[in-house]
Chains A and B, each alone.
Chain A
């Protein structure tokens, strides 16, 4: 399916430079039609898997795979969305995942923005070297140090508790990096003026920086929330007990356990994606901004 993208992509490659400045130069009709055609093909390639997931979740089990494909279910099986809660421990998984995502997001935003202020607005010796260490660890893949980390967490009796996931995600360098990038754009005069007015550094952070950085905080919060919600590897390594499982871990196990329950598997998948989809639709501006300021996702 994605291979269909290549022709559209190369079409765009050749076309785009010609049509770069639409206001000054009239775009040719042919170019316009080609552009729309390429966009439709690309949009189909991106969105069809999601569409297929949603319609399959509303079918009976033996109508998921039919030839030819049924693009609209004959009868919508809404009860799949009730059945999944009795067939799997959906409630537990969703509850755990929500709890983890909220706590991690809160801690990451709080400690991240606090530390970023220290890195950006307070001048002291060793500050920049320390920041370099922070940024450096972003480049180190987690897979490379997951083993010593696992051993450490076991020694601290964190493994097989929800605390492990909180510890894993909440103190990342990513939040510090994103918030510092934002604070660097706030003019020094602002905090200087506040300092002359007698505000302490903590006061400046709370009364001036926090209110100013609401968009950056929103970016960080959304990215962290979605990241924690989607995390599979952390829970896979650390959460053994069934009643600690998150939605990703639970869904994965459900798929291996009931590997022929195609419709219900898709129902579970939709439920695991739905919260992220809603958050993304409401705050897509902040996602894009967060990516643009750092170039990375957590």
Chain B
């Protein structure tokens, strides 16, 4: 076979591969396009536009005047913004450990062969797929200060002066935290249960042979074995806590006073109640940056620990 023929064949092969690649790209894009058009216009574009809007003083009418970093300097001295930030951190600081402990506890409880476990697993998950509106409405009534079932229960336990819950500035945030924990623990329980199933049983046997007690086994086998799950759960809980919104909107609407105004609600109020879209967009960027930072930091920490 002469060199020319070989070269010719190779050229043909290259050309064929090029054509195949183009063909593949065409086919691939045709699959993705129906979803991508909607996704690009309705999600991607707004996300990018946010970074423009935040530097304008747009108020829903007319043009959007460029104001540079004014929105951000205004935020630094805005008392309501400080309060929203504080309340969000307050919520996060209690909601994360509570939900974490409750869901991990439930998962450990259900990871045993007791009767009724399957039923309970289903039941615990149900609040998570129930609408926020219904949940907020029911819990608001359960929390009602005078004749509500919760305060009746507390009085029966001997609490003479039960809290005013959603009608008191001190207790409205704890009430929200309780409901949020109740709603979400079933979901994180499922994630933990899936994680527990991946821990090899021999590890427990080995620990037992080495004379490790129950607590030591939990601390040295279960927790390290759950690390990927723990990582994921913490990230989800953090992001979920910082963007808490609809539960508060329906349960307390930020009140009484400003005791439960959180970041998302600050954004909502500024934009859709006061028409300050530019300023609200700047606050959105803060929320956006918090969520991204949380994800990246957790990711880096997790990576370093693994190394």
Contacts and interface: CB of A to CB of B under 8 A. Distances in A.
A167 interface: yes
Contacts of B137: 251, 255, 265-266, 269
Contact of B138 (A124, A145, A269): A269
A30 interface: no
A9 B106 contact: yes
A114 B112 contact: no
A64 B35 CA distance: 48
Contact of B134 (A45, A111, A123, A251): A251
Given A43-B123, A172-B43, A292-B194, A201 B27 contact: yes
B214 A147 contact: no
Contacts of A292: 190, 194
Contacts, number: 337
A212 interface: no
B217 A17 contact: yes
Contacts of B222: 16-17
A64 B149 CA distance: 10
B287 A141 contact: yes
B13 interface: no
A50 interface: yes
Most chain B CB atoms below 10 A, which of A38, A39, A45: A39
Interface in B144-173: 144, 146-150, 152-153
Contacts of B295: 139
B131 interface: yes
Bin chain B's interface residue count: 35 or more
A90 to B, nearest CB: 14
A251 B140 CA distance: 14
Contacts of B187: 291, 297
A10 to B, nearest CB: 6
A107 to B, nearest CB: 8
Contacts of B75: none
Nearest to A137: B43
Contact of A65 (B35, B148, B194, B239): B148
Given A65-B148, A233-B245, A287-B129, A272 B45 contact: no
Interface string B245-264: 11001100000000000011
Interface in B36-73: 36-39, 41-47, 49-50, 53
B38 A272 contact: no
A140 B182 CA distance: 25
Contact of A143 (B31, B150, B218, B287): B287
A232 interface: yes
Given A35-B112, A111-B34, A269-B138, A118 B50 contact: no
A1 B104 CA distance: 18
Contacts of B285: 144
Interface of A is mostly: helix
B116 interface: yes
B302 interface: no
Interface string A85-119: 00000000000000000000000001110110111
A81 interface: no
A280 B123 CA distance: 10
Contacts of A43: 120, 123-124
Contact of A53 (B138, B190, B201): B138
A77 B175 CA distance: 30
Contact of A167 (B42, B127, B250): B42
A277 interface: yes
A53 B127 CA distance: 13
Contact of A21 (B109, B114, B133, B201): B201
A230 B132 contact: yes
B28 A16 contact: no
Interface of B: 21, 24-25, 27-39, 41-47, 49-50, 53, 98, 101-102, 104-106, 108-114, 116-117, 120, 122-135, 137-139, 141-142, 144, 146-150, 152-153, 178-179, 181-182, 185-187, 190-191, 194, 201, 204-205, 214-215, 217-218, 221-222, 232, 236, 239, 242-243, 245-246, 249-250, 263-264, 267-268, 271-272, 277, 280-281, 284-285, 287-288, 291-292, 295
18 contacts: A9-B104, A18-B217, A39-B109, A42-B109, A45-B182, A49-B135, A53-B138, A122-B31, A147-B281, A171-B38, A205-B31, A230-B132, A232-B250, A252-B250, A269-B137, A287-B125, A288-B125, A288-B190
User: Closest 4 A-B residue pairs measured CB to CB?
Assistant: A9-B105, A171-B38, A118-B31, A16-B108
Given A145-B288, A147-B46, 16 more contacts: A1-B182, A9-B106, A9-B109, A15-B109, A16-B112, A17-B204, A35-B109, A43-B123, A46-B124, A65-B141, A122-B31, A141-B264, A145-B50, A152-B45, A266-B138, A291-B191
